[in-house]
Structure 1
C-alpha cells in the first residue's frame, strides 16, 4: 500500500506533465499514473506529423521548446516532453493502467493494474486518443483495417481506402499516395473538413480535383471484405477492390472511467463531463479534469495550447482550500 499523495494525476501526456510541474511548484506531493509511455498519445501519432501550433504554444512549465521548423514535428515534441519529464525528475509510473477511483473518507483510493494508491486530490488528464470511434460495420475487425495510421511506406503500391475528411485522414491519404498507393477517400460530408491544416487543405483538394486521389463525398462504407469494400454513395452502392482500410473516424475519451469515478456526463451525444471551468473541479469533490478530456465527444475544443492553464487553475484551487 502506497502512502497518500496530495495529488494523483491520471495520464502522462503534456497536460498531465504540466499538472505535475505545477503541483511541485505549489509544494504538493504528487504522482502520475500513465498506462503507456511518456506522452503516449503523441507517441501514437503518425511518424511524420506536423503540429498545427508553433513550438512556443506547446511549452509547459516555462521550459523553452526549441524547434528547427516553423511548426514542430512529432519527433521534436517527443524529445521535448521526454526531456521535461526526465530533467525535472517527474514522479511518474509508466505502463500502469488505472482501473478504479474510489472515495475513501477524505481521500481517494486509486486501483491500478500494478497496485493501489491513496490521494487527497485526483486529476484526470487522460486525453481522448485511446478509444477509436468504430464504424460498426461488417469486416471492421479484419486485420487489414486500422484506426491508427503510422507510416506511409507500409502501404506502397497497395489499394488503400481512407475514411474521414479531417487532418488525420488527409495526412494518411496524401502520404500514402506519395508513396505509390492507389488511394480512395470516403467522406460523409460534402467537402474536406474546414479544420484541416491550412497548408495541407489545398494540396488534398487539388489531388482530388485532378483525379490522383478518388473521393466519394456524401458517402459511407457499409462493408469490408478481404479484397474489396462496399460504399454507399449518392449514385448508389459501389464496390471497389481494396487491400487496406485506414479508418480515421476520430477517437473518444475513456467515458467508462469517468462514469465509474462518479463524474456526471451530459445526456446528449456530446457526453460533456461536468466541471467548473474556473477551478476544473468536477461534481466529485477534489476530482479535477485537465486537457482534452474536458470536451467529451467535442475533441476539437481543447488542445495543448489552450489547456495548459488548467494545471494552474487546479493547483490554485487546491491551495486555496487546503
Structure 2
C-alpha cells in the first residue's frame, strides 16, 4: 500500500520529540497507517455521537426515564467498553475521549455498562438534578413500609425482564415464609396484581409452592411488553422461570416474547384474570380486601407487579368510553380502509400516524394540543412533515378532542369546532403513573434526584410508622 509522504511527515510531527533511533523508526513507520486508520474511525464515531446528542437536545429528550449511568470523567479512561456493552446501541458514546450519555431517553437501565467499565467510572442512578423519579420504599425481601404489601419488577425502578422474573420469584419466597406461621382461613394466601414478567414469575412460583392465590391484570397478558410497538426488540439476559424452565434468549422481538408467555400459560395451566383492574386495596381483619372491576377478594398478602406504565391518560370527553377509542396502536393493518384519528404529539403518536398512513385506503388525522411538536425525535418530525406534505396525514395543531360520537369525532381547533367523519380514535397521550395508587395504600414513595440504588432499604422498625390504609 503506497503512503503519502506529506501525510507521514504530518503524523511524525505530531509525535513526541524523541532522540532519533533508526531501529525505532523502522518499527514505527509500519504502525503509522494503523494508527491513522484508528484516528479516522475514532473521529467519525465522535462526529456521530455529537449528532445523536444534538438531536436529543434539540428534541428536548435529555432526561432519562429509568435507571441510568452517570460517568465520573475523572476516572473514565475512554476505553469505550461501556459503549460496546450497551444492548440498545448509541445510548452511550465517546466525546472528547470520555464516555457520555448521548441518547438518555433510550436507556433501559440494563446495567451492562457499569459492569463492563474497568475503571469503575460509572454509577447507576434514578432521576437527575432537574427531574425526579418516584421510587417506592422496599425492604430486602420486597416488602413495603406497609406490612403485608410487597413490590416486584419495574415498579421498583428496575427494568429488564431478567430482573422482573427474579424479583417476582424471590418476593413469593419471602411471602411464603411469612405465611408459614399463620393458620389457614377463608382468605387467599396471596393476591398478585399485574401479569407482566414479574407477575407471571410470581404466579408460577406461587403455584410451585402450593399457595392459594389469584392473579389479576388490568389489561392483557404481558403487561408493559404488550404495549410496545410491533416488532420492538427487547433486551434481557437468561433467567429461569418457575415450572417452565430456562429462558435463554438475550434479545427477542415483542411478538415472540408474548408467544412465550402464552406457551407458559398453556403448559403450566396458570390462570390469570385479564382485563380486571384493581380499584382499591384496604386493610381488613389481619389481611387485605382487594376490590376490582369484577369482584372482591380477601388475601393475607398482596404483591404489586404493576410496572411503571400505569393507567393510560384519558381525554375526559363525552364518548371516550366507546369501544372504538383505544390507547395504543398494536397492528396498523387492522385499520386498512378506515378513518382514524390519532391524538398526541409525542414520538408514539407520530409513529402511529405514519404507520397508519402507509395502510391502503386509511384516512389519518393527527390532533395535537400544542402549536408545534416537542420532545420528539428529528426523524419522526421529518416523517410526519413528509406524510402531511404528501396528503397522507391531515394535521391539526392547537386542537383538542371535544366529543366522540357514532361515526364522527369533534375537535376544537383554534377556537372553532370541527366535526370529522371517523371510525376509530387512538389516544397516544402517555400514562398516569401508579404513584397515587401506591399512596392510597399508604406506601411511601421517594422522589430520587440522581441517587443510586434499585430501591431504598428501610429499617423494619419503620414499618410500625406506616399510615393506615385508606380507600382510593
Q: TM-score range by the shorter chain?
A: 0.5 to 0.7
Task: Between 92-101 and 133-142, report the one with greater CA deviation.
Answer: 92-101
> How far off is 1:263 after superposition?
3.7
> How far off is 1:262 after superposition?
3.6
Instruction: Return the TM-score normalized by structure 2.
Output: 0.43
> How far off is 1:213 after superposition?
1.3
1:242 paired to 2:401:
no
Trace 1:270-285 onto structure 2 (pairs within 5 A): 277-279=455-457
Structure 2 partner of 1:183: 364
Q: Is the 8 A contact 1:231 1:239 kept in 2?
A: yes
State the distance in 2 between where 1:194 and 1:59 align.
Answer: 35
Higher relative contact order (CA 8 A, sep 6+): 1
> How far off is 1:163 after superposition?
0.7
Deviations 1:119-175 (CA, angstroms, capped at 9, x unpaired): 3x4221234668442222344345544445444344333332211123543343233
Equivalent residue for 2:256, pick from 76, 91, 100: 76
Q: Is the 8 A contact 1:108 1:118 kept in 2?
A: yes
Q: 1:21 to 1:168 in 2, by over 3 A?
A: same
> How far off is 1:195 after superposition?
5.8
Report the count of equivalent residues.
Answer: 267
State the distance in 1 between where 2:259 and 2:235 align.
Answer: 12
2:253 is paired with a residue of what secondary structure? coil
Instruction: Return the TM-score normalized by structure 1.
Output: 0.59
Q: 1:204 to 1:185 in 2, by over 3 A?
A: same
Structure 2 partner of 1:39: 221
In structure 1, runs of 5+ residues without a counterpart are 267-275, 288-322
Equivalent residue for 1:133, pick from 313, 324, 335: 313
Bigger-Rg structure (1/2): 2
Q: Is the 8 A contact 1:2 1:116 kept in 2?
A: no
Q: Is the 8 A contact 1:3 1:117 kept in 2?
A: yes
In structure 2, runs of 5+ residues without a counterpart are 1-184, 447-453, 467-472
2:320 is paired with a residue of what secondary structure? coil
State the distance in 1 between where 2:463 and 2:416 align.
Answer: 49
Structure 2 partner of 1:155: 335
Higher helix share: 2
Structure 2 partner of 1:10: 193
Q: 1:205 to 1:124 in 2, by over 3 A?
A: farther
| RMSD, aligned α-carbons | 4.8
Q: Is the 8 A contact 1:14 1:60 kept in 2?
A: no
State the distance in 1 between where 2:262 and 2:334 align.
Answer: 27
Q: 1:110 to 1:204 in 2, by over 3 A?
A: same
